[in-house]
Amino acid sequence: MTNVDQKAESVAHDLMQLTDQAKVYAARMRLLNTLDQADALEATREIAANLIGAEEVAIFKLDKKRSVLWLYWSFGIDPNRHAVLEVEREPRLAEVLAGKTIFRGDNGDAGLLSITDPANALIPIIVDGVTSAVLVLFRLVPHKSEFEPVDREICEVLSNCAGRAVEPQRV
């Protein structure tokens, strides 16, 4: 590899890092500058679709008394098929409710939920240090086969900054 090739590769790498940082910053600022709950939900949809590449998303709100997650909001899925997720029947949800984001394919997992539509990510939405909902990213766009490191960072932003979408009065 010539010196020119090495420099070009270094510049391309630096540009990719700047692009990734800009995506994470854009996601954070979009969520932090939401005007109300409706805007926060729309911001969540925009970030999932435009920055991550998931056009089928749902937010399930936790009902602690019943140990279930009720479908709170969705985009691109059939809400009648995903009205409720029972925590006891979905072993991966315990980890998510404890604050851990889980991605399909990590640790060789074939599926994250027992439902027929494949979930690609389970993201806790944390409000006041407690998981109050779970954002589920279903199918990724066809040309995207897995989550890239920047996608994982954006999911972390969603986890920590999307609280206004589910608990507007507490954020």
**pLDDT tens track for 62-109:** 998 888 999 999 999 988 888 999 889 988 899 999 999 999 877 665
**pLDDT tens track for 115-159:** 777 889 999 999 999 999 999 999 888 888 889 999 999 999 999
Higher-confidence residue of 137 and 11: namely: 137
pLDDT confidence of 36, banded at 50, 70, 90?
Answer: very high
The owner of tokens 């608990």 is 167
The pLDDT value given to residue 131: 95
The pLDDT value given to residue 109: 56
pLDDT confidence of 3, banded at 50, 70, 90?
Answer: confident
The pLDDT value given to residue 170: 64
Place domain 3-165 in its CATH homologous superfamily. Answer: GAF domain (3.30.450.40)
